[in-house]
Structure 1
Amino acid sequence: MAAISSLPYNVPVQYCLPQPLVIMPMTFRKAARTLLIPCLFAVSTAYAQQPPAQAPDPEVTAPQVTIFPHTDTSRYLIAGQANIIFQGHPGFHSPYEGTNSLLARGEYKVSMVGTLFLGLQLHHNLRYNTDAIYNLESSGGRGVSEALGLAGFTNLDVVRNPNLGSVPYTARVQLHQTIGLTDKLIDTQRTQLSLATKVPERRFDLRVGRMSLPDVLDVNGPGSDSHLQFLNWTADNNGAWDYAADTRGYTYAFVTEYDDIHWSARYVFGLMPTVANGVDLDWNLRRARGDNYEFEYRKTPFAFLPERLLSPERKGAVRLLSFVNHADMGVYRDAIDAALTARANGDPSAVPVITAHAPGTTVKYGFGLNFEQELTQDLRTFGRFGWNEGQHQSFAYTEVDQTFELGGDLAGNRWSRPNDKVGLAGISNAIKRDHQQYLALGGLGFLLGDGKLNYAREDILEAYYTAHNWRGLFTAFDVQLIAHPGYNQDRGPVAMFSIRTHVDF
């Protein structure tokens, strides 16, 4: 465990390429082909050259995927992980830059995150289990361009406030209580956030404490883990879900969840930050809070397909999410009108400022859809759709008012590497008209601001290959192609390359 907390987070993190390459403008379709065609060719070649996958031999022990072995029978859990990402991009076409732009010159940086997971079953009862969870975390390094200039930023590990440093902090501390409503038990997998290996088939799950809301909401099997899967913010989470969190991505929250045989319902409320992307949380629940609701149905969403196309035994799930945030958020239209009035009164340099408003609570709401579907033993597909009303300030996650995502992953059984995985996803993000005009007039969000804007959707294509090297050691290569970074068709496209090393202890 000491190896996690003593990672060398003081490694220099920013270097500029001496003679940056420049990617000239091209259509996103053409850029996507440069990545998609080789990926599809590689997958099809692997399938063609390898014999059919054999059923797993029950006598063969599954490969160990942690450095140290862990038992499922102990009342306590001690585990950890480290994630190191080297990420960079060559220079790209950009006739201008603003305060919050992705830098057009070539650059690369390193981010590092280490987490210590501690858990204890305070009350070990198959029907009424109580867990105490504590996570200590350290986040070092920085993102390219200080994590600015992209709505779908390319590294989910990056802290959006680079001045916080790598001093360890409490990421999660919570109590988890299971209340069984039946004596019938089902198997479940032990995780860092839930220690039981058997739970009642019908039950309530309660959590209270410090957590990240994506721990329990908008979870998606092929598309939620930036340490072994996709890296982009809007690939692993619903970009239009402006979920309650501080700048590190955590908040204090209360979770109520009911689980039945094929469905679950969840309600979560969490504390909002006092300012957009802020470190401090507002504890006045009458003034600020985030209310979140989710319904999950654990059956295939494609049951209408004939059995010859999709076996009814293949697992699937669909999740419907809604959120309502109360916070001291600005209104884009008010900021725009104030700037236009100032210009009409003789100040041609006036720009809209979203934070220049009288204090008061405003409301932002939105919806999300999330599905996943097993297609074969090794192949899964998934997708997301997200929408929010877009009139109020992007406040806690990222600057997205609408998002579409479709992707999938493939396990490496065909080439005799069952713990390897290849993934491919396409994401298209958008913002509403007032948000567009705000940026076009020179306004700054907490992530975006090129000084002007020639609007277009921000389109992203991401592919990765994660290789299992030995026990808990994984490495991955990741490529992201981004058209219209920061919704600006005057800039880009951008090619972002990443190498990730992940260790599970």
Structure 2
Amino acid sequence: MTRHPRLWPAVTALVIMLIASPALAQSADKAGDDEAPQSWAVHGQATFVDQANAAFRSPYRGANSLDPAARGRETADVTLYAGARLWPGMEVWINPEIDQGFGLSDTLGVAGFPSGEAYKVGMARPYFRLQRLFVRQTIDLGGDSEKTEADLNQLGGSHTADRLVLTVGKFGVPDIFDTNAYAHDPRGDFLNWALIDVGTFDYAADAWGYTVGGAAEWYVGRWTLRGGVFNLSKVPNSEHLEYDFSQFQGIAEIEERHRWGGRPGKLKLTGFLSRGRMGAFDDAVALAQASGQPVDIVAVRRYRSRSGVSLNLEQEVADDLGVFARAGVAGGDVEPYEFADIDRTVSAGLSLKGARWGRKDDTFGLAAVVNDISSAHQRFLAAGGTGILVGDGRLPHAGAEQILEAYYDLKAIGPAHVSFDYQAVNHPAYNRDRGPLSIAAVRLHAQF
């Protein structure tokens, strides 16, 4: 298995955080109390993931294929969350981060990629990124007063039930849209990309998952209406963002909060529209056939649109048990711009706390997801095309990608958690000729 010993500086940072976090957390708590809103806060997190795949059947492979040999990769990141209240309702946050490591096969080979902690870029040495720098203004509009718990990128205080929240700057679209209490955090719950977000949500982002833009949230009773506009990257799936919204994405979401059997739940409907230079799959195949050259999506890119819509459900069914489900569809005639090679998806799962076996701070999660692509997308891959994550050079026997993931998150010492994760992937990259695939991971995580 391939290993990267230079990851140990990042692991050392995680250990330091475990030692220092009680004192740091206490200092942050002093910024506010139960009566007054916090005026400032400092939080931190460190995560290390060691993930490996077993050898699997592979009669052939292409440029974007997962290596069929048994391989292992590691990722690590350390993030600082520093925030301050500038005036009533106004917060500013900055999140500098140190990242290191690689995803399996350099984050290629599976449309529902198995680690949300693996970016589309990787480095053996630690490197610095400013992932978030944004301001948030909350405007109270009336209703009952509700407590705001201190958290990462959130100061403790209060707000009214009806309110308007405006966020502007650099942050992640999933910070606001398509959130889910049981499947949304690769540092604490599921790892698979198509479980932590709906797989068809081709949200605006650089190669690390962040963008520049603004969002508004209007809370009224049991409803919330969200909308936002964000910069796409300059080139699909790239490291550099557009700066003038000449290539952009608009997102709208409506959330309904309810109680079922006396238990809280949420249902979200999310839609996006991207406008940028994208290629149509059939155009790329036709050009390759006419020219005799390899199929190339870059050669047929022009300014056009791609849209998608998804449903997202979370529901508490017992004090220690919650379930979730997502389903989405996106335009299958045009290449995905940022996220993953998925045109249709459906997923469902559960999250169970460990109180039943005397481990109330532990969590067991189990979920399944099925991803698929359009016929045009299938023809493109069969002709030798490559996408954001997949491309085996050919696709004579296509099939829906099927993924099962289970994890157990164990509370260890202080703020530290250790997770054990297993994923089974059938038809990776929509290819019946390769796989099935088994992937195991160990995750270390701490935050204050």
- Structure 1 or 2, whichever has the larger Rg, is 1
**Secondary structure, aligned partner of 1:175:** strand
TM-score with structure 2 setting the length? 0.92
- 1:114 aligns with 78
| Gapped regions of structure 1 (runs ≥ 5) | 1-5, 12-65, 304-310
Hey, what's the Cα distance between the residues in 2 that align with 1:163 and 1:111?
Answer: 9
Counterpart among 368, 380, 383 of residue 438 in structure 1: 380
Hey, what's the Cα distance between the residues in 1 that align with 2:10 and 2:148?
Answer: 35
Q: CA deviation at 1:394?
A: 1.4
Q: CA deviation at 1:471?
A: 1.9
- 1:326 aligns with 275
Hey, what's the Cα distance between the residues in 1 that align with 2:422 and 2:438?
Answer: 7
Hey, what's the Cα distance between the residues in 1 that align with 2:157 and 2:71?
Answer: 46
Counterpart among 124, 127, 133 of residue 167 in structure 1: 127
Cα pair 1:10 1:141 within 8 Å, conserved: no
Hey, what's the Cα distance between the residues in 2 that align with 1:329 and 1:270?
Answer: 17
Call closer, same or farther: CA 1:183–1:426 in 2, change over 3 Å. closer
Cα pair 1:139 1:159 within 8 Å, conserved: no
- 2:44 aligns with 80
Higher-strand-fraction structure? 2
Q: CA deviation at 1:164?
A: 9.3
**Secondary structure, aligned partner of 1:219:** coil
- 1:465 aligns with 408
Query: Which residue identity does 1:97 align to in structure 2?
Result: R
Counterpart among 364, 373, 389 of residue 422 in structure 1: 364
Hey, what's the Cα distance between the residues in 1 that align with 2:122 and 2:382?
Answer: 26
Q: Once the two structures are aligned, what percentage of the paired residues are identical?
A: 32
- 2:4 aligns with none
- 2:285 aligns with 336
Q: CA deviation at 1:223?
A: 0.5
User: Over residues 247-276 of structure 1, what are the superposed CA-to-partner deviations in whole Å (9 max), with x where a residue is unaligned?
Assistant: 010000101110122110000111000111
- 1:91 aligns with 55
Query: Which residue identity does 2:371 align to in structure 1?
Result: N
Query: Which residue identity does 2:57 align to in structure 1?
Result: H
Counterpart among 355, 365, 370 of residue 312 in structure 2: 370
Cα pair 2:404 2:423 within 8 Å, conserved: yes
Hey, what's the Cα distance between the residues in 1 that align with 2:90 and 2:143?
Answer: 17
1:180 paired to 2:140 = yes
Query: Which residue identity does 1:504 align to in structure 2?
Result: Q
Cα pair 2:165 2:218 within 8 Å, conserved: yes
1:291 paired to 2:250 = yes
1:138-153 to structure 2, matched below 5 A, reads 138-153=98-113
Hey, what's the Cα distance between the residues in 2 that align with 1:284 and 1:200?
Answer: 35
Query: Which residue identity does 2:242 align to in structure 1?
Result: D
1:501 paired to 2:444 = yes
Hey, what's the Cα distance between the residues in 1 that align with 2:268 and 2:95?
Answer: 27
Hey, what's the Cα distance between the residues in 1 that align with 2:348 and 2:391?
Answer: 27
Cα pair 2:195 2:347 within 8 Å, conserved: yes
Q: CA deviation at 1:446?
A: 2.4
1:101 paired to 2:65 = yes
Q: CA deviation at 1:330?
A: 0.8
**Secondary structure, aligned partner of 1:442:** coil
Call closer, same or farther: CA 1:389–1:164 in 2, change over 3 Å. farther
- 2:201 aligns with 241
Query: Which residue identity does 1:77 align to in structure 2?
Result: A
User: Over residues 206-240 of structure 1, what are the superposed CA-to-partner deviations in whole Å (9 max), with x where a residue is unaligned?
Assistant: 00000000000000000001111000000100110
Query: Which residue identity does 1:82 align to in structure 2?
Result: A
Q: CA deviation at 1:357?
A: 2.4
Hey, what's the Cα distance between the residues in 2 that align with 1:178 and 1:115?
Answer: 25
- 2:240 aligns with 280
- 1:28 aligns with none
**Secondary structure, aligned partner of 1:166:** strand
- 2:3 aligns with none
Hey, what's the Cα distance between the residues in 1 that align with 2:314 and 2:389?
Answer: 30
TM-score with structure 1 setting the length? 0.82
Q: Across the two proteins, how many residue pairs are aligned to each other? A: 424
Hey, what's the Cα distance between the residues in 2 that align with 1:353 and 1:497?
Answer: 34
CA RMSD of aligned residues (A): 1.6
Call closer, same or farther: CA 1:197–1:164 in 2, change over 3 Å. farther
Counterpart among 84, 92, 95 of residue 135 in structure 1: 95
Q: CA deviation at 1:294?
A: 0.3
Hey, what's the Cα distance between the residues in 2 that align with 1:168 and 1:78?
Answer: 19
Counterpart among 217, 222, 238 of residue 177 in structure 2: 217
| Gapped regions of structure 2 (runs ≥ 5) | 1-6, 13-20
User: Over residues 275-300 of structure 1, what are the superposed CA-to-partner deviations in whole Å (9 max), with x where a residue is unaligned?
Assistant: 11111111232x31010000000114
